[in-house]
Structure 1
Amino acid sequence: MHDSNQAQRDVEAVACIAAVPKILEVITRTTGLRFAAVARVTDDRWTACAVRDEIAFGLQPGGELELRTTICNEIRQHRQPVMFGHASENPQFADHQTPRLYGLESYISVPIHRSSGEFFGTLCAIDPLPSRVESPETLQMMELFAELIGAQLESDERHALSQAALHTALDVAKMRERFINEVSDDLKEPIQALVMDAYLIKTTPGLDAQTRARVADMETNLWRMAALVGGIVDFAYDKLVTGAPLSRTPAATLAGELQRVLTQVVSAYPQRALATHVRIDADVDCDPARLGQLMVNLAINVLRHVASDVTVSLDASTTAGELRLAVEAPGLALPDDALDSVAGPITRRPGMVREPRAWDFFIAGEIARAHSGGISVVPAPGGTRLSFAMPLQALQDVMPVATSNAIAAG
């Protein structure tokens, strides 16, 4: 069944096709028939969707005719065009109910199909006076116009469906963001509590060395969990993507943020020898919190791979045109594929057992990309330096992340 609401939607769909009024004007001027219309024809309704009326026929868009009184109903069934220029002298239509009921002498109507082949209705023209419309050229013109309307209807419907799907996807994304944000907030409090408990246990007098070491490992993993929760929230809100908004950050503000996160790293690894150095002398176009997260990511990666008795240097500084964050340690060696995750998450084949990666720079790489910067590994005296560099001023065109690996052989 074709209800009135659907009929109204069909009228609106045709009204959205800007070319229809001009098509109807061309038809009336070319054929001489003074009434032209686009009609939606179903198995129970004939509805005018667009009208050009120069004979005061009385139909407006949304108006209806009784379906069984129309030739369009016959066209709906046999899907062939119908045309005649003088009904009273036409053997087939002289006694037909439609010309007699509506006082028609001239008539032409062609079916409108969507590009999928589905029947929509008709493009028709009528006049109470005889005319010479029965020509191949007129029929071809009407069929071309009908084909254009049908194709545009389907195109518009597909666009509407795409928009609806987009809105649905956006609604789902908003629900996902809300869920992730709420879960992340719920996780932060117990993680912080566990960090405090681990610290209290670790500092308990008389605790044996083995238990103290295990608690220290627990504390390290808890800090990593906190960083991962922050990363999940960032991805939920698309904050780590290329082109993320960067703001001019005063040197003192950025220095304070980096010093804060380095202090957290020192607190999280009290048993390690860490040398921190922050010298920010210029304003930087950046997201300070994300750069702090990047610094922590670099530090954690390095601390997991160097001996516990070596001194690890954590440096943040500005030069004439760059901001640099670096982690350096004696004996540090990165494998050739260490920076693979900078370009994206490692793809795993179906069924592959998930193994923890020794090095993981994916989040750091996304932050670097958003800041038009790059992560690199270069030789340093007595070891290797893992560093990030970015321009002080945001670039117009975001550069791809540089991932050079210049580790000296041996």
Structure 2
Amino acid sequence: MKSISKADLQHDIESIAKIPIISNILNAVCRITGMGFSAVARVTDLHWIACATNDEIGFGLGPGDELKLETTICHEIRQHRNAVVIDHVSEDSDWKNHHTPKIYGLESYISVPIILSNGDFFGTLCAIDPNPANIKQKHILDTFHLFAELIATHLNVVDDLSVAEAKMQEQAKEAELREQFIAMLGHDLRNPVTAISNAVELQLRGKMDERNLRLAKIIQDATLRTRGLIDNILDFASGKLGSGIKLDFNNPADLETTLKQVITEFRLASPEVPIALKIAIDDAVKADHKRIAQLFSNLLGNAISHGTKGKPVEVEAKSSKHTGLEISVTNVGEPIDELTLKHLFKPFSRGKIRPGQEGLGLGLFIASEIAKAHHGAIEVRSSDSKIRFTFKIPHHST
């Protein structure tokens, strides 16, 4: 049998101390029995330790004090798990020669086991007195059993709370480490991609033959998609840790300029897809322009990837005091079936894909999370020939 450590015993004493009604129970035990000492004892295969006491006769035991296990009746109760009630030791043939009453000068004794919900024996609720007492009564024993069950229930709750608190602390530490990892990962991944992107842009400004120009544009397209994937992965990981999409309203450029930069990147990366643009942003909308650009990039990339090859993608962005901000992206393509529509904004949901459309299926999910962070939403309409995604946020909504 595994022995209980000192740390575990101290934990049990502290657990009893956390139960606010213990002192009331011990006081009530003395009142209903007329006895002068009551206690909650932790009883193991090696120890008898007082967890809480009510001493009105100067017995001399307080919380944390220990009796030699073999000198107690509780040692026997731990083995048979039955209550022991003695009115008058000297006149009780079963107990008058027992060593415990002789050692401690007892004439009356009552003790009931405290059994936890998992069946483990915790200890006893007991009372003693040097004088006889009329305690062999059903209502007294029933009350003791009720108190013992109440103590066991509270111990289970205290233990569950301790486990939950320890688990929360562990999760908080893990979350902090993972947040640090995400931050380092983002930095280490973005740096080489940015270097590749800058290098290929410099190449494109120079003179190149048709073959090298085509290769440079392939690299440029790959870096654009890689940047988007990195952003989506990091945002997804961060969101799953509970921090969600964070917004920063200190924008270095106006929204129209930011959106046009996104379109320029896609026109360079996918020159075979015409992008028709209509912008009428005539009112300042409180928004994180970098996040709006990320949302817009995900919608535009989705439209180009899933649209009919060579067919134009239509982009319209407008804002006003009455309608707020509205950005729509429309492409020609196969209609989206109802089942796919239901799961379109869930992570890793991609619907039907063609060769060259590979991805993690996080783009639309991240876009919807950015919309929610702005107290907005993304709507999708799919007809026989066109698919339209519309992002809306109300005026000064955040």
In the TM superposition, what is the alpha-carbon distance from 1:133 to its structure 2 partner? 0.4
SS in 2 for 1:323: strand
Aligned partners of 1:35 and 1:54 also within 8 Å: yes
In the TM superposition, what is the alpha-carbon distance from 1:112 to its structure 2 partner? 0.6
Equivalent residue number for residue 170 of structure 2: 168
Equivalent residue number for residue 233 of structure 1: 234
Distance in 1 between the 2:46 and 2:239 partners?
50
In the TM superposition, what is the alpha-carbon distance from 1:171 to its structure 2 partner? 1.6
Task: Select 1:362's aligned residue among 362, 365, 371.
Answer: 365
Residue by residue, what CA displacement relative to the aligned partner does 1:366-386 show, whole Å, maximum 9, x if unpaired?
222333322223489x96543
Aligned partners of 1:255 and 1:278 also within 8 Å: no
Distance 1:174 1:243, change over 3 A: closer
Distance in 1 between the 2:266 and 2:386 partners?
23
Q: TM-score, normalised by structure 2?
A: 0.85
Distance in 1 between the 2:157 and 2:298 partners?
48
Residue by residue, what CA displacement relative to the aligned partner does 1:66-114 show, whole Å, maximum 9, x if unpaired?
1111101111111111011111111111111111111111110001110
Superposition pairs of residues 1-40 of structure 1, within 5 angstroms: 1-40=3-42
Equivalent residue number for residue 82 of structure 2: 80
What amino acid sits opposite 2:54 in the alignment? Answer: R
RMSD: 3.0
Aligned partners of 2:313 and 2:329 also within 8 Å: no
Superposition pairs of residues 173-252 of structure 1, within 5 angstroms: 173-208=175-210, 211-238=212-239
Say if 2:258 is the partner of 1:256: no
Aligned partners of 1:246 and 1:394 also within 8 Å: no
In the TM superposition, what is the alpha-carbon distance from 1:18 to its structure 2 partner? 1.1
Task: Select 1:108's aligned residue among 83, 107, 110.
Answer: 110
Which segments of 5 or more consecutive residues in structure 1 lack a partner in the other structure? Answer: 349-354, 396-410
* Structure 1 stretch displaced more, 154-163 or 18-27: 154-163
Equivalent residue number for residue 144 of structure 1: 146
Aligned partners of 2:285 and 2:324 also within 8 Å: no
Distance in 2 between the 1:373 and 1:126 partners?
70
Equivalent residue number for residue 297 of structure 2: 296
Aligned partners of 1:28 and 1:125 also within 8 Å: yes
Equivalent residue number for residue 120 of structure 2: 118
Aligned partners of 2:256 and 2:281 also within 8 Å: no
Equivalent residue number for residue 315 of structure 1: 317
SS in 1 for 2:291: helix
What amino acid sits opposite 1:17 in the alignment? Answer: I
Distance 1:75 1:323, change over 3 A: same
Aligned partners of 1:341 and 1:362 also within 8 Å: no
Distance in 2 between the 1:80 and 1:110 partners?
7
Superposition pairs of residues 37-76 of structure 1, within 5 angstroms: 37-76=39-78
Percent pairwise identity? 35
Distance in 2 between the 1:321 and 1:107 partners?
81
Distance 1:229 1:132, change over 3 A: same
Q: TM-score, normalised by structure 1?
A: 0.83
Runs (4+) of structure 1 moved beyond 6 Å? 239-243
Equivalent residue number for residue 343 of structure 1: 345
Say if 2:392 is the partner of 1:389: yes
Distance 1:267 1:6, change over 3 A: closer
Equivalent residue number for residue 354 of structure 2: none
Aligned partners of 2:175 and 2:241 also within 8 Å: no
In the TM superposition, what is the alpha-carbon distance from 1:24 to its structure 2 partner? 0.9
Equivalent residue number for residue 402 of structure 1: none
Distance 1:174 1:377, change over 3 A: same
Task: Select 2:100's aligned residue among 98, 101, 107.
Answer: 98
Distance in 2 between the 1:100 and 1:242 partners?
66
What amino acid sits opposite 2:279 in the alignment? Answer: H
Distance in 1 between the 2:224 and 2:58 partners?
80
Distance 1:34 1:288, change over 3 A: farther
Equivalent residue number for residue 353 of structure 2: none
Distance in 2 between the 1:16 and 1:379 partners?
61
Distance in 2 between the 1:290 and 1:240 partners?
19
Aligned partners of 1:32 and 1:131 also within 8 Å: yes
Task: Select 2:279's aligned residue among 277, 280, 286.
Answer: 277
Residue by residue, what CA displacement relative to the aligned partner does 1:323-379 show, whole Å, maximum 9, x if unpaired?
2112245x466533665554312469xxxxxx8369851211222233332222348
What amino acid sits opposite 2:165 in the alignment? Answer: Q
Aligned partners of 2:315 and 2:327 also within 8 Å: no
Which segments of 5 or more consecutive residues in structure 2 lack a partner in the other structure? Answer: 351-356
Residue by residue, what CA displacement relative to the aligned partner does 1:176-205 show, whole Å, maximum 9, x if unpaired?
221122121011111011112332344442
SS in 1 for 2:254: helix
